[in-house]
């Protein structure tokens, strides 16, 4: 059977799409480049014209994931404006929504072991995505007296970690980790506890 014909750009993207499907099905270390090639409908030799190895392929999937993620976070942030509180809370919900909608990208980004510093492009887009949440944190924490205000990078890191924990434990259908509460509720109430602790929302609300 004759392999499908791809021009240079299409073949590269076809391999990324194949990798994303395999990552979802088998995890980031559960497939070979030969499997990705077969999934894309090309010979294994064709893969090496675009990627040196599996980690390079996963890194490109992660880079594309961060592109989507950064846009999703930015959209959520802007949708919450002009309220700094609404904008901040929206970015937390966007994290969970992204993980649900783009599981292959999410795994490549956060669970593959591929460093965000593997390539300058990956590092740059990762920084842009994280920067959206940090900006939202900075604007919200401006309402806290300077001597009681945590650094925006710490503030955003706490919420990032909370969001990531909810995704990992309760939004991925992991065996033995089912929660009696929807992940969205866990995240929203967790952020609420944190913000109350900083005095950013009414303790009685």
Residue 173 has pLDDT above 70, yes or no: no
Alpha helix (H) ranges present in the chain? 8-26, 33-40, 44-47, 54-80, 84-101, 103-110, 120-141, 152-170, 183-197
Q: What digits encode the pLDDT tens for the residues 79-124?
A: 988 888 888 888 888 998 999 999 999 999 999 889 999 999 999 9
Helix axis angle, 84-101 relative to 152-170, nearest 10°?
A: 40
Alpha-carbon span 179 to 167, nearest angstrom: 11
Average pLDDT, the chain: 86
Predicted pLDDT at 3: 43
Average pLDDT over residues 145-157: 89
| Backbone angles phi and psi of 92, in degrees to 5 | -65, -45
Nearest to 73 by CA among 46, 37, 109: 109
Alpha-carbon span 90 to 79, nearest angstrom: 8
User: Does residue 131 contact residue 85 with C-beta atoms inside 8 Å?
Assistant: no
Residue 77 vs residue 8, higher pLDDT: 77
Predicted pLDDT at 203: 65
Alpha-carbon span 136 to 158, nearest angstrom: 13
Predicted pLDDT at 4: 46
Residue 20 has pLDDT above 90, yes or no: yes
| Domains by residue range for the chain, with CATH | 1-51 (1.10.10.60), 55-197 (1.10.357.10)
% the chain with pLDDT above 70: 91
Nearest to 103 by CA among 1, 191, 21, 198: 21
Structure confidence at residue 176 as a pLDDT band (50, 70, 90):
low
Average pLDDT over residues 45-61: 89
């Amino acid at each position: 059977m004759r392999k499908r014909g791809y021009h240079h750009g299409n073949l590269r993207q076809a391999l990324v799409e194949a990798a994303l499907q395999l990552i979802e099905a088998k995890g980031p270390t559960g497939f070979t480049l030969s499997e990705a090639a077969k999934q894309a409908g090309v010979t294994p030799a064709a893969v090496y014209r675009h990627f040196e190895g599996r980690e390079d392929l996963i890194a490109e999937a992660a880079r594309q994931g961060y592109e989507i993620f950064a846009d999703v976070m930015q959209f959520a942030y802007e949708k919450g404006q002009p309220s700094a509180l609404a904008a901040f809370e929206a970015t937390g919900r966007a994290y969970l929504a992204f993980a649900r909608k783009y599981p292959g990208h999410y795994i490549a980004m956060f669970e593959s072991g591929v460093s965000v510093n593997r390539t300058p492009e990956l590092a740059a887009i990762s920084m842009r995505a994280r920067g959206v949440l940090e900006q939202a944190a900075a604007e919200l924490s401006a309402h806290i007296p300077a001597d009681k205000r945590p650094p925006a990078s710490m503030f955003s890191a706490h919420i990032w970690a909370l969001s990531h924990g909810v995704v990992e434990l309760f939004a991925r259908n992991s065996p033995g980790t089912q929660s009696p509460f929807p992940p969205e509720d866990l995240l929203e109430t967790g952020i609420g506890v944190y913000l109350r602790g900083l005095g950013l929302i009414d303790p009685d609300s």
